[in-house]
Amino acid sequence: MIGDQQRKVMSEQEEKGQTSRAVLSTVLVARDSILVTTCHTRSSYAFTPSTTTTMEPSYRIVPGNQTKSASIQGTANSLGLHDTLRHGPRSLAAEVQTEGGLKGRLENWEATQDNAKLTLRRNIYGMHAPMRLLMERKIVSQTSPFVSAMSPSNLHLDILMGRDETIEPADIFLGMENGPSLDIHEQLRK
Amino acid sequence: MTSLGADTRATEGPIVADKNCEKIHHITESIRCCGAGTAADTEFTTALISSNMELHALSTGSKPRVVTAMTMLKQMLFRYQGQVGAALVLGGVDATGPHLFTIHPHGSTDKLPYVTMGSGSLAAMAVFESGWRANMEREDALNLVKAAISAGIFNDLGSGSNIDACIITASHTEMLRNVEMPNMRVQKERKYAFRRGTTAWKTENVRDLVVNEQITFVGGDAMDTT
């Protein structure tokens, strides 16, 4: 795993008693290649996902075209055809249509703008700046399992994200598609 | 000083849904917004931006500016890619002076000395183009706005009924609701109410629903607000 390689490199350098720029650049390169965003959205656009711990550096202000949900590259077998035994029947609709359009744009708006700001901070102040902000957000969004049953509002997170003094349609049209799950056992299990 | 004007017709296709609706929305005390396009979109968008402007003013502690409202509106409309059908004329007076902006549904804005939006915009703009001068007095400005809206009312099918106007100065705002009503309905020539005795009745029985009334005083002291 990339994380292990990072740690290995760092421990070697520490043994030698140096903290060289090579280590820093390794960390930067490794971070660049991490594309996984671990955001848990509770509903489509009622709550903006802001607990990503990594970011892909991008100056995009507006969300780009969403990737298609299925592609022949992912499901092709050695003969170049869609592998039905492994991946089920082929659905041309999934390969051609994207879910996106306006829905994807609205869902990803906050995250894309936020990403642009974090990228600028990174380029101006250094790698640590966005990481510190993401760390603070992650700390603040670790809520108790009983919160979502009562009122799913995180004031500290709102302040950190800069939305404590604005009203959005999400604040007015409360209500997620499923509603808050009243099953505490499910939440404790997570 | 900024003057805004609007007609009062809301249509649903070829049908007039509301003969006397209010199209001049309140953003802040000194900023108003005329909304053309989809009625729900303009009302909700202006209400949302009005709330956000109030919060913003409380947070900054200074009088809200027209450009702030314009920026909030244009960013929101751009985000929705024109699906929010709100074509707005935003005008007001703030600490930097009087301003007038127009915001299109896709999010583009213009800062102009005189603007028109909506289906009657061509008729109104024709009046503005021939009659507008810089630094007009209150009366002249109001008359010009009324003439422009009248042009829209009488020459465009999507506009009609009455004229609303709003004069915003640095010191106060004056909302002139129905300042002119050129389309009052004529009084009908006949009365269509039924005369007393049209329906024959045989017996009358009046029953008092209150059978027995007893007044009991309870407490009697002032409201307890602890």
Tell me how far apart the alpha carbons of residues B135 and B5 are, in angstroms, rounded to a whole number. Answer: 18
pTM of full prediction above 0.95:
no
Integer angstrom CA distances of residue B219 from A30, B94, B213, B214, B224:
76, 54, 19, 16, 11
**SS3 label, residue B10:** strand
Q: Which of A102, A105, A167 sits opposite B55 (nearest CB)?
A: A167
Tell me how far apart the alpha carbons of residues A122 and A128 are, in angstroms, rounded to a whole number. Answer: 7
What single DSSP character describes residue B120? T
Q: Point out the least confidently predicted range of A14-18, B145-149, B155-159.
A: A14-18
Judge: A106–B48 Cβ closer than 8 Å, yes or no: no
Judge: B55–A165 Cβ closer than 8 Å, yes or no: yes
| Closest CA in chain B for residue A112 | B79
Phi-psi region of B81 (alpha: psi -120 to 50; beta: other; left: phi over 0): left
- The torsion angles phi and psi of A58, rounded to 5 degrees, stand at -160, 140
Specify the pLDDT at position B217.
86
Amino acid at the residue A117: K
| Closest CA in chain A for residue B52 | A166
Indicate the burial class of B69 (C-beta count within 10 angstroms; 0-12, 13-18, 19 or more): buried
> What's the rounded mean pLDDT across residues B144-166?
96
Tell me how far apart the alpha carbons of residues B37 and B22 are, in angstroms, rounded to a whole number. Answer: 13
Residue B54 tokens read as: 């109030």
Tell me how far apart the alpha carbons of residues B124 and B146 are, in angstroms, rounded to a whole number. Answer: 9
Q: Is the separation of the CB atoms in A50 and A141 below 8 Å?
A: yes
pLDDT at A80 over 90: no
> What's the rounded mean pLDDT across residues B185-194?
92
* B120: Cβ contacts below 8 Å, ≥ 6 apart: B7, B149, B151, B152, B153, B155, B156, B158, B159
Q: Point out the least confidently predicted range of A29-43, A100-114, B192-206.
A: A29-43
pLDDT at A21 over 50: no
> What's the rounded mean pLDDT across residues A120-130?
95
pLDDT digits (tens, 9 = 90+) for B95-129: 999 999 999 999 999 999 999 999 999 999 999 99
**SS3 label, residue B36:** strand
What single DSSP character describes residue B184? P
Q: Is the separation of the CB atoms in B158 and B116 below 8 Å?
A: no
Q: Which residues pair with A38 in a beta bridge?
A: none
A109 touches chain B (CB under 8 A): yes
> What's the rounded mean pLDDT across residues B65-84?
96
Cα angle A49-A131-A63, degrees, rounded to a multiple of 5? 40
B172 touches chain A (CB under 8 A): no
Q: B114 or A77: whose pLDDT is higher?
A: B114
pLDDT digits (tens, 9 = 90+) for A89-110: 888 877 777 666 888 899 899 9
